[in-house]
Chain A
Amino acid sequence: MSLKKLLKPFKLLSIAKKAGVVTVLYPYQKPLITSEFRGKIVIDASKCMGCGACANVCPPNALSITETEESVILNYFVGRCIFCGMCADVCPVGAIRVSNEFELATTNIDNLNTVLVHKLKGCVDCGKPFITSRMLENVLKKVPFAEKYINECPDCRRKRFINIVSARKR
């Protein structure tokens, strides 16, 4: 009995034999990733309209929107990304896809940034750039009625509205 107990630790050998070798020769052999794995996100430049919903919801601010005079810049810095995929959930046009890429180490920091520049379209009245052309298309697709005012910037729209109202008052 006590000898049997003493020999119990040697049972490990049979466990090990049954389990076999479970490690892999990474990176020569690829590690197993399940179908659900969330890695780096990929932004489809042909779909993105620069609305900024993703930047708004991103917990670590890996996605950020910068607005300049003539353009909207969407920047994805993978160094901050926590791979939660919230951006893909909220993107209204499905431009963001969560890939299973995870080997992101690089010697050049620029490789960590993905920059997307959207040129802004000018207002028909004052010429001030205010909307990305894809956003405009999208709004029209969803609200065809918007055709009547969508080419004007919010300022001009407001002005026109005030003008109409004041004209009516008169």
Chain B
Amino acid sequence: MWLDISLTIILLLIMLILPPVLDGIERKIRAKIHSRIGPPSIMQTWYDIRKLFAKELVVTDTGYIMFFIAITLFSMTILALFLLPTGFMNIFSRDNISLLLFSIFILAIQLIWMLLSVAPSNPYSTIGVFREALLGMVNELFFMLGLFALLVYVNGLSFTHLISTSYSITYVLILLLLASYAYVSSGRIPFDIAEAEPELASGILIEFSGPLLGMVLYSNLVKRAILYGFVANLIILPLLGELNLLLKILLFFISLLIIWIIYSVTSIIFARTRVDLAPKTLFFFYLLVTILITITWLLRV
């Protein structure tokens, strides 16, 4: 019991510290691909966030609402983090509806992101939200379909059910669908159209500064870690079985790192898509995967 609780707390702390470090690693990799030195160390993102928190808080007309929403976003993100297993089923993820709850939190986080960007009445951020919503319509729709398929496939609503699941073509396809979802909703190129820097001058982030921006950026990184951690869990949980606990945890973090790196390299290789192209492309891609899932399901392979 005490071991459980202390492990849960330790891993939670690690998950809170890790995302900016992973981002630091990503920045180093990106620099390497760009043929430049890049930031001095992988802790640079943490330094940046620390710097932002040291700045004065500027409260604009809509500042109070923004502050409130940012806090909500932050706490919602932390709540979702609580539910995420890290190779070890912590006391929250053992709950028998943890997977369902987790998905609801993820959808809520996406929603609050949009809310956050509507708050300042800036034309850039308004357009940013419009784009985010357009993309979200496709993205979240298929997330729910994929999630539904997953829940039916594992025959349960908890993360614990994933352990007893076995791999099959259907499962791989569901995995592909949810992994793509994780990629798109983490706002990476080519799908970062909402904050497209040259077009919208940072779009939805335009009105934030100082500690508020620091909090929003940090929440965004934690959100990435949650999404990628979710994918990592989907991949490794069915494989782990009766491994040593520490080994399981190690395996989780390694796969999280690998997923993060694969995603970041992909985003470096491609360019930003356009707002009318993105939902179309995504829609057809998701539709194809969904149809394949259905077919394989019916064929029971």
Interface, chain A (partner B; CB < 8 A): 9-10, 12-13, 16, 19-25
Residues from chain A with a CB closer than 8 A to the CB of B36 are: 21-23
Contact B35 A20 (CB under 8 A): yes
Residues from chain A with a CB closer than 8 A to the CB of B270 are: 9
- 13 more A-B contacts (CB under 8 A) besides A12-B33, A12-B269, A21-B36? A9-B269, A10-B269, A13-B33, A13-B265, A13-B269, A16-B34, A16-B35, A19-B35, A20-B35, A21-B35, A22-B36, A23-B37, A24-B37
Residues from chain A with a CB closer than 8 A to the CB of B32 are: 16, 21
Residues from chain A with a CB closer than 8 A to the CB of B34 are: 16
Residues from chain B with a CB closer than 8 A to the CB of A21 are: 32, 35-37
Chain A nearest CB, measured from B79 CB (Å): 38
* C-alpha gap A11/B34 in the complex (Å): 13
Q: Do most interface residues of chain B lie in helix, strand or loop, or is the interface mixed?
A: loop
Interface residue count for B (Cβ, 8 Å)? Answer: 9
Chain A nearest CB, measured from B267 CB (Å): 12
**Which residue of chain A has its CB nearest to the CB of B271?**
A9
- 6 nearest CB pairs, A to B: A23-B36, A19-B35, A16-B33, A9-B269, A23-B37, A22-B35
Query: Can you report 5 A-B residue pairs in the complex whose CB atoms are below 8 A from each other?
Result: A9-B270, A16-B35, A23-B35, A23-B36, A24-B37
* C-alpha gap A51/B270 in the complex (Å): 62
* C-alpha gap A100/B35 in the complex (Å): 28
Q: Within B28-67, which residues are at the interface with A (CB < 8 Å)?
A: 32-37
* C-alpha gap A22/B35 in the complex (Å): 6
Residues from chain B with a CB closer than 8 A to the CB of A10 are: 269
